Amino acid sequence: MITLDFLRRFGANVDEGMERCLGEEEFYLEMVDMTLADDNFEKLISAVEAGDKKAAFEAAHALKGITANVALTPLYKETSEMTELLRAGEDADYPAYL
């Protein structure tokens, strides 16, 4: 089970995420669980494996938003960087981001 302490050790900005969830720990943790279960993670992996930059961009962009909403900072930073590279059509080591 994910806890606030685990999220803090992971590097999430728990205070920011909790503020967005009106200080409700249970609600925040539920939102984190929903974020981590989002199917865009699988879409991103499949798109990167297939070399489909358009689909990878769409999935990364969606993940950028949802990880920002719950302040999962490490995931947000990676998906944000990946989103901008894909937006520009850059060749990059996308599997390394995964």
pLDDT tens track for 22-77: 999 999 999 999 999 999 999 999 999 999 999 999 999 999 999 999 999 999 99
pLDDT at 4: 97
Chain-centre distance for alpha carbon 16: 15
Contact 64, 80 (CB under 8 A): yes
- As a whole number of angstroms, the distance between CA 17 and CA 85 comes to 26
Enter the tokens of residue 98.
Answer: 């995964």
pLDDT at 30: 97
pLDDT at 98: 87
pTM here is 0.90
Number of domains in the chain: 1
Q: Is the pLDDT of residue 1 over 90?
A: no
pLDDT at 89: 93
pLDDT at 87: 96
Query: Which residue segment(s) compose the domain that 92 sits in?
Result: 4-97
